[in-house]
Amino acid sequence: MALHEEMRAFLDSAPEGEVDFHDFTVPEVRTAVDGWMEVALEGPEVAEVKDIGVPGPGGTTIRARLYHPRPEQALPLLVFVVGGGFVANSLEVEDTPVRRIAATAQVAVLAVECRSAPEHPFPLPNEDAAAALAWAVDHAAELGADPGRIGVGGHSSGGALAVGAAVGLARTRPGRLRALAVITPSLDADFDTPSYRRYAHGYALTRVNAKWFWTQYLGERLTDPPVEATPARAPLVDGLPPALFQLAEFDVLHDEALTLAGRLREAGVPVTVSRGEGLMHGFFYMDRVSAAAAAANRGFAERIGGLLRAAD
């Protein structure tokens, strides 16, 4: 189908048109990513929102934020790795959509901000995601959550980090997670898939800018990406939880997510895929400007809640 009219109108309203991040400094790109906060505006009220410092690798502290809709009740817990192209990972930018997940799914959400490239390239963000997930599993009760109902998810580049963390945890503690939930995840450094060619220009995330993000993350290793950085092609392990993929039809990242979903199915993992017809990358922030985006985001959150509450 065609791109939803509201999204086309949003793209057409951008005064600067399509930009090439090669013309910008890293701080300027981060400022551009921060602009999504203006699109999202404020999210719903959540009863408890508090910042948490999670112990990270080598004595570092990982920024995290707990959203708990009902602090008096031990709700399921979703560890959600925020996105930003590996370069602009930000709790603030993703505050509104994360609030919506917590409020709609009625689960506690621990949003995690991994360190950003190029200052902190691969594998440092991956190590942060793995450490935050392991810590949350061990400390769920302290977060007011149910230790038996924990999932992990992420948006865009955060989706890649979330999948990697899930695979790592399944390797050491199989069956510990109830759900893996990713939205428009960035899972491979192959810029020649059909969706990369079809949607290279004109749909928010361009092929050129996606490659720029990956270059900051991997540097010279982009020519031979480590499988640990590219979950679409990384070896899978037993013990992975049921997976939920929320995609966008008009997104360069669309096909690599389908690839991973197919591989998970072949490995016997229950997988639900929503193709996001008529949507483009960035719709995660666009409830205010697009009814279609709002419906997709609401459905994603509802399905997360369903997975985390599923009977044993």
Active site residues: 156, 251, 281
Say if residues 33 and 93 touch (Cβ distance below 8 Å). yes
Contacts 24+ apart (CB under 8 A), 216-225: 216/26, 216/85, 216/86, 216/87, 216/117, 216/118, 216/121, 217/86, 217/87, 217/117, 217/118, 217/121, 217/122, 217/125, 217/157, 218/121, 218/122, 218/189, 219/118, 219/121, 221/122, 222/189, 225/188, 225/189
End-to-end Cα distance, the chain: 38
Task: Output the six-digit token pair for 115.
Answer: 């360190």
Q: What are the residues whose beta carbons fall under 8 Å from the beta carbon of 283, sequence distance 6 or more?
A: 7, 184, 248, 276, 290, 292, 293, 296, 297
